[in-house]
Structure 1
Amino acid sequence: MDQAAETGRPRASLPLEASLTLSDESSSIAQARRFATAFLTTVGSDSETLVTPDTVQIVQLIVSELVTNARKYAPGPAVLHLRITDTVVQVELQDSNPVLPVPHAHDPQRVGQHGLEIVAALAGTVTTERLATGKRVVAEIALTATPS
């Protein structure tokens, strides 16, 4: 028997997606975190997709790091796009700065500039792409992710 029929809830079709355009205001970081949390919480309650609390926390941190970097280095709006497939949450951020981020060598004395290191440590994969209008950074997090 179909599991959706057993639970009485309709099976949501995948992928599930949502986007948010962020202004260049500092409050957009908190706004992006709330947006990601609401999206993941809604998906977890409205479908058969299991989104663990650890995954929500990891996505919140990745969203914070990506949006912080966009606010710091890219003028103008940025677009946060979230997508859930069968096994991953994709966090995509597009901004107006065409310079691709590069990870720095490990240096415990360095203050700041650890954002990409944090994202790479938490995500299964991180890709960057230069666009005609700036860049796109995509981090993929397993739906059943646990902090390492």
Structure 2
Amino acid sequence: MDETPQDAQGQWIEVPSILEVSLALDGDGARIAEARRLAADFLSTVRDTHGIPVATSSVEITQLIVSELVTNARKYAPGPALLHLRIIDQMLQVELWDSSPVLPATKAPNPERIGQHGLEIVTALAQKVTVEATTVGKRVTAAVALDAR
């Protein structure tokens, strides 16, 4: 039996391949650099192999978002974390799951505060940021336009 999708008239339906990659993270801070490289390499593959336009600024924004999310997970979550990148339409979804049930929130601006600006940075750079509780922690998702300039 042929499992290629067809519409009601028997025409073949083109099913786009899913472009995604994941990285399991442990407590090692060196993994932050690895996560940044993974993001840059993934977006290069999306551009070079799949022909999807990716602006240089989108790669840089993604690397900063990944760095902030992974840093926060390493700093505030006691267990493992998972970074997941996927292309949906012309957007990159950066998802970071960690084991801490505490949902982060942006703080009021305070020029004297040192640190705790990670979520503010992510929110400023991404088109959309969501934070949701999961059964064993939380997931922070940031959407980045591939054609950001």
TM-score with structure 1 setting the length: 0.88
2: CA distance between counterparts of 1:17 and 1:138?
14
Corresponding residue of 1:26: 29
Q: How far is 1:80 from its partner?
A: 0.3
Shift of residue 87, structure 1, vs aligned partner: 1.5
Aligned match of 1:55: 58
User: Which residue is equivalent to 1:41?
Assistant: 44
Q: 1:63 to 1:132 in 2, by over 3 A?
A: same
Residue 103 of structure 2 is aligned to residue 100 of structure 1: yes
Whether the 8 Å CA contact 1:15–1:86 is kept in 2: the answer is: no
Q: Which of the pair is proportionally richer in helix?
A: 1
Of the two, which has the highest radius of gyration? 2
Deviations for 1:77-134, whole angstroms, at most 9, x for unmatched residues?
Answer: 1100001122100000000001000000011111000000000000000000101110
* Corresponding residue pairs, total: 136
What is residue 4 of structure 2 aligned with on the other side? Answer: none
Aligned-partner residue type, residue 93 of structure 1? L
Match of 1:131 in 2: 134
Superposed CA offset, 1:52-99 (max 9, x none): 110000000000000000000001211000011221000000000010
Q: Could you list the runs of 5+ residues in structure 1 that have no partner in the other structure? A: 1-10
Runs of 4+ aligned residues of structure 1 deviating over 6 Å after TM superposition are: none
2-structure distance, mates of 1:95, 1:87: 26
Q: RMSD of the alignment, in Å?
A: 1.5
Which residue in 1 is equivalent to 2:11? none
The percent identity for this pair of structures is: 57
Q: Which is worse superposed, 55-64 or 37-46?
A: 37-46
Partners of 1:66 and 1:113 in 2: how far apart?
12
1:4 alignment counterpart: none
Look up the match of 1:17. Answer: 20
